[in-house]
């Protein structure tokens, strides 16, 4: 039986709206362990990393050499510790499931997952998260985790942020609909497999996700699955900090996660950007638990 270790990373350092640090608690309260048990998965809850409140910290205490990145020192500290937790979980033969917090925690997840392996990554997100301190319009690190892990721009040579085992040719982004010009240039220059909502409309979610998983898993030891709840349409997942209209539906999201499970390639996963202060009756957190269960094999029949 697969054992999933749940690791909470209650950060809001990378976001522009407070409250997302309560995401891990909301997801647990929504029944994550029960949903995973329904998928035939055993769970171990490692609790939450200790994360100081953003209000107690100076967002500009450790500025990057170029550009802007808020709470970079604090983000680095959390991601180092999360990377150790993820790496240790894999070494123990368990599958790490990180709960955000904002999407900046993906830096730690990727570093830990790639520590002793070659990995791919599938990014289920409205956004590409390929900004750097020099290209970001906001300075919010939740828009930078994939760039950081790949060592782009100002992140080049950063020991806490870079995941050398993450192969750029095994990166796939699914469901894009809000991408900055600088990110478009990176996607084109690097040749990442990138699928917009138009691709999903034309081809269907199953076909797109199957191709993305095939791209991500080719020739590597496993795939990191990053699920940002703003990937879904805000009507389905209202409790997110950066909602973008026109996302996937409830059923499309489940279908995609079922394809993820069928690939048998998942090495690590995270659920991020659930903000209960913006939610309605905790429905976004509940949806996160359901999608995690689908990703680990839960089916109707």
Out of 85, 142, 254, 270, the active site residue is 142
Out of 233, 273, 286, 290, the active site residue is 273
Out of 12, 85, 103, 154, the active site residue is 103
- 224 catalytic residue (yes or no): no
- Give CA–CA dist 114/109, Å, rounded: 9
- 281 catalytic residue (yes or no): no
Calculate ∠ Cα 230-231-234, nearest 5°: 55
- 58 catalytic residue (yes or no): no
Out of 129, 199, 233, 258, the active site residue is 129
Out of 228, 252, 258, 270, the active site residue is 228
- 189 catalytic residue (yes or no): no
The structure tokens 């990110």 sit at 183
Out of 74, 77, 199, 230, the active site residue is 230
- 129 catalytic residue (yes or no): yes
Instruction: Judge residue 255's burial from the number of C-beta atoms within 10 Å of its C-beta, 0-12 exposed, 13-18 middle, 19 or more buried.
Output: middle
Q: What is the dihedral of CA 289, 295, 300, 301, to 10 degrees?
A: -150
- 254 catalytic residue (yes or no): no
Instruction: Judge residue 106's burial from the number of C-beta atoms within 10 Å of its C-beta, 0-12 exposed, 13-18 middle, 19 or more buried.
Output: buried
- 228 catalytic residue (yes or no): yes
Phi/psi at 102 (5° precision): -80, 175
CA-nearest of 84, 146, 76, 138 to 112 is: 84
- Give CA–CA dist 105/85, Å, rounded: 12
- 230 catalytic residue (yes or no): yes
Out of 12, 85, 102, 127, the active site residue is 127
Q: Which residues are catalytic?
A: 103, 125, 127, 129, 142, 228, 230, 273
């Amino acid at each position: 039986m697969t054992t999933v270790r749940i690791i909470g990373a209650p950060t809001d350092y990378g976001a522009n709206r407070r409250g997302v640090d309560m995401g891990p608690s909301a997801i647990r309260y929504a029944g994550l362990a029960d949903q995973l048990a329904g998928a035939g998965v055993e769970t171990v809850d490692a609790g939450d990393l200790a994360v100081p409140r953003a209000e107690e910290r100076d967002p500009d205490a450790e500025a990057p050499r170029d550009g802007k990145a808020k709470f970079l020192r604090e983000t680095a500290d959390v991601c180092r510790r999360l990377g150790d937790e993820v790496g240790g979980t894999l070494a123990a033969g368990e599958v790490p499931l990180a709960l955000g917090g904002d999407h900046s925690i993906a830096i730690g997840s990727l570093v830990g997952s790639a520590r002793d392996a070659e990995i791919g990554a599938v990014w289920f997100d409205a956004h590409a998260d390929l900004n750097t301190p020099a290209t970001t319009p906001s300075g919010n690190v939740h828009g930078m985790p994939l760039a950081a892990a790949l060592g782009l721009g100002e992140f080049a040579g950063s020991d806490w942020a870079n995941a050398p085992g993450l192969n750029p040719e095994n990166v796939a982004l699914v469901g894009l609909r809000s991408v900055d010009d600088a990110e478009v240039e990176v996607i084109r220059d690097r040749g990442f497999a990138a699928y917009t909502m138009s691709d999903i409309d034309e081809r269907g979610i199953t076909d797109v996700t199957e191709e993305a998983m095939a791209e991500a898993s080719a020739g590597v030891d496993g795939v990191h699955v990053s699920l940002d709840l703003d990937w879904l349409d805000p009507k389905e997942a209202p409790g997110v900090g950066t909602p973008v209209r026109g996302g996937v539906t409830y059923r499309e999201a489940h279908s995609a996660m079922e394809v993820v499970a069928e690939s048998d390639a998942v090495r690590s996963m995270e659920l991020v950007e659930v903000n209960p202060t913006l939610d309605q009756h905790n429905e976004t957190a509940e949806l996160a638990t359901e999608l995690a269960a689908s990703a680990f094999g839960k089916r109707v029949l």
